[in-house]
Amino acid sequence: MRREGFNGRVRIAVTATADGGGLLRPLADDGSPAGPPRRVADLGAAVAERERADRPRWVWASTAVLYPRLLAAGVRVGRCHDVELVERLLLGHAGRHGEPSSARAAWARLRGEPVPAAPLDDAFERHRGEQPSLFEEAPDAAEELDRLIAVHADQLRRLAGAGRLPLLAAAESAGALVAAEMTRDGLPWRADVHDALLTELLGPRPAPGLRPRRLQELADRISAAFGTRRPVNPDSPGQLLKAFAAAGVPVPSTRAHVLRRVDHPAVPLLLEYKELARLHAAHGWAWLDAWVRDGRFRPEYAVGGVASGRWATRGGGALQIPRVLRRAVVADPGWTLVVADAAQLEPRVLAALAGDRAFAAAAAQGDLYAALAEAFGGRPEEARDKAKIALLSAMYGGGGAEATRLLGVLRRRFPQALEYVEAAARDGEAGRVVRSRLGRTCPPPSAAWRELTADEGERAGSALRSRGRFTRNFVVQASAADWALVLLALLRGRLRTLPGRPHLVFFQHDEVIVHTPRDVAERVAAEIRAAGARAGRMVFGETPVVFPMQTAIVDCYADAK
């Protein structure tokens, strides 16, 4: 049977020194020292040796600091405990969001000392080439290791009384390994294809400070459509508002959804201009120069960078690759891409959370919306669309009269599912916190919110409803993020057993891409599907709800959908 999970018993604390060496010390199950520290001259070689012998769980202050150094030395590890990420989870669980979560901050709290302020960009204070000290006084390596061990032992004690948070802490730490490895390996990216796509859509690369030819042509036509003496700058909302008003069609804003309701010859030109200008600004030639090297796009990921546990990135827009540019994501010769996404993930998560038998039975089907369609009546495709609208309204709140009516149908047929999210909304409106399946906790309301909602009035009501919508969605979206993290951790472990080193190169909420030798692609696809099913059982227990991973084996990302 495959050995799978996150709770390996052997633990080794490790800290690095500036000369390429470091200190290693074995730990007992409770985090206390289980042997003397060992000073090593070559940290990478020492870690590789122990990894081969014991496959331990490495305990370090921050994966984002230490692991890139090991990766640069050709060393990869199976498990870790990321003190900084775990501290952030524990602080959130205790209702102390926003407090610094670094190892030195955790040490100060443990000692009852003043906690050093978090840097302005705490999630990305690393990635600067040097190995910063974890503590303000720059203790020597032995003292630094002792502090790390004490903080880790304290975290184990706190995790023991925090329900299922230990599983989330292990998965979050595994996610940090995945993130560092994906940055190191990079997403295959053909710069020549990207350049050709930009040229096709925008015209030749312009001189600095000038618009691409297609954008300039559209700008000239927009001015002509308004018939003004002076050119209208399509990048200036103020000028556009004045131009529309002068044409007798005043608009409240120049947002695309507003413009689509306006009948004026400039509108289709403006909509095209906005789309192309956004591409040029976010993923144009400057982006290509900055982010693609040696055939790889290497973004920097922030694990749990969003309150719900979803990831974020620092620049590069890795989580928002435009569909047109997916044509530039091409596998290496002899390799291919396995692209997989979880079908209808958040509705399935709600079904698993709520324990509504009828809803869970529908979620045991391949197409959840189609399985629910019968409850709404009408032609099959229309009924499916109604089921989708109703579910999205249940999870996200809001909606017009039609959504309200469809929610009524959902409430009558699946009362426990609706009550689950509505209870979360009531908790939010009452100023309480809610948690994901594994214990990730939403931020408490601010003092300003409490002051505003202490009085009656329209603004207070709006603030209450807004927080209710946030907590309503948080319990579902954060639990989906729990599942995705466990999926990542399981899949990473499964890929390590396959020949040819297939590896994760992309992750976005409910989608993964594995770059793999062509001859093991089918095995990779099978492992992805198996990991999705296993993650469902680990996070939600035995449930009829299925979490199908739709896979495609393609040479180019654009061909997957």
Range with the largest mean pLDDT of 4-18, 178-192, 218-232? 178-192
Q: Check pLDDT > 50 for residue 270.
A: yes
Query: Nearest to residue 348, comparing CAs of 559, 513, 550, 558?
Result: 550
Query: Nearest to residue 175, comparing CAs of 503, 442, 507?
Result: 507
For the residues 142-156, what does the mean pLDDT come to?
96
How many Å apart are CA 528 and CA 104, to the nearest integer?
38
- Confidence at residue 129, expressed as pLDDT on a 0 to 100 scale: 36
Query: Nearest to residue 486, comparing CAs of 5, 3, 79, 82?
Result: 5
Same domain for 350 and 333?
no
Could you report the per-residue pLDDT of 282-326, keeping only the tens digit for each?
A: 999 999 999 999 999 999 999 999 999 999 998 788 888 999 999
Q: How confident is the model at residue 6 (pLDDT cuts 50, 70, 90)?
A: low
Q: Check pLDDT > 70 for residue 128.
A: no
| 4 within some domain | no
Element spanning 339, H or E: strand 335-342
Same domain for 369 and 447?
yes
* Percent of the chain topping pLDDT 70: 94
Question: How does the average pLDDT of the chain come out, rounded?
Answer: 91
Same domain for 94 and 82?
yes
| 180 within some domain | no
Domain boundary pick from 447, 474, 501: 474
Q: Check pLDDT > 50 for residue 75.
A: yes
Same domain for 502 and 370?
no
| 495 within some domain | yes
Same domain for 340 and 486?
yes
Q: Cα–Cα distances in Å, from 376 out to 22, 389, 409?
A: 64, 11, 7
Same domain for 311 and 421?
no
- Confidence at residue 140, expressed as pLDDT on a 0 to 100 scale: 83
Could you report the per-residue pLDDT of 344-387, keeping only the tens digit for each?
A: 999 999 999 998 888 888 888 778 888 888 888 778 888 888 88
DSSP 238-253: HHHHHHHHHTT---S-
| 36 within some domain | yes
- Confidence at residue 192, expressed as pLDDT on a 0 to 100 scale: 97
Same domain for 92 and 121?
yes
Same domain for 464 and 360?
yes
- Confidence at residue 119, expressed as pLDDT on a 0 to 100 scale: 60
Q: Check pLDDT > 80 for residue 99.
A: yes
For the residues 234-258, what does the mean pLDDT come to?
94
Query: Nearest to residue 166, comparing CAs of 81, 280, 285, 61?
Result: 81
Q: How confident is the model at residue 1 (pLDDT cuts 50, 70, 90)?
A: very low
Could you report the per-residue pLDDT of 385-444, keeping only the tens digit for each?
A: 888 888 888 888 766 677 778 888 888 888 898 999 999 999 999 999 999 999 999 999
Q: Check pLDDT > 70 for residue 105.
A: yes
Domain boundary pick from 270, 288, 306: 288
Same domain for 467 and 488?
no
pTM of the model: 0.91
Q: Check pLDDT > 60 for residue 262.
A: yes
Q: For residue 201, give the 3-state DSSP assignment.
A: helix
* E strand segments, 201-283: none
Tokens of 156: 């184990």
CA atoms within 13 A on the CB side of 87: 26
Q: For residue 126, give the 3-state DSSP assignment.
A: coil
Q: Which of 5-19, 133-147, 168-182 has the lowest mean pLDDT?
A: 133-147
Same domain for 370 and 419?
yes
For the residues 433-456, what does the mean pLDDT come to?
94
Number of domains in the chain: 4
Q: For residue 517, give the 3-state DSSP assignment.
A: strand
Sheet holding 187-188, edge to edge: 187-188, 296-297, 292-293
Q: Which residues pair with 95 in a beta bridge?
A: none
| 170 within some domain | no
Q: Check pLDDT > 90 for residue 524.
A: yes
| 516 within some domain | yes
Q: Which residue has the tokens 């302020």?
A: 117
Q: Check pLDDT > 60 for residue 4.
A: no
Q: Check pLDDT > 70 for residue 492.
A: yes
| 172 within some domain | no
For the chain, helix, strand, coil in percent to 5 are 55, 10, 35
Q: Cα–Cα distances in Å, from 194 out to 197, 202, 455, 506, 537?
A: 5, 12, 55, 18, 41
Higher pLDDT: 60 or 120? It is: 60
- Confidence at residue 403, expressed as pLDDT on a 0 to 100 scale: 74
Q: Is the separation of the CB atoms in 184 and 68 below 8 Å?
A: yes
- Confidence at residue 395, expressed as pLDDT on a 0 to 100 scale: 86
Element spanning 89, H or E: helix 83-93
Give the structural domain span for 198.
191-288
Domain boundary pick from 248, 269, 288: 288
Q: Is the separation of the CB atoms in 64 and 176 below 8 Å?
A: yes
Same domain for 44 and 127?
yes
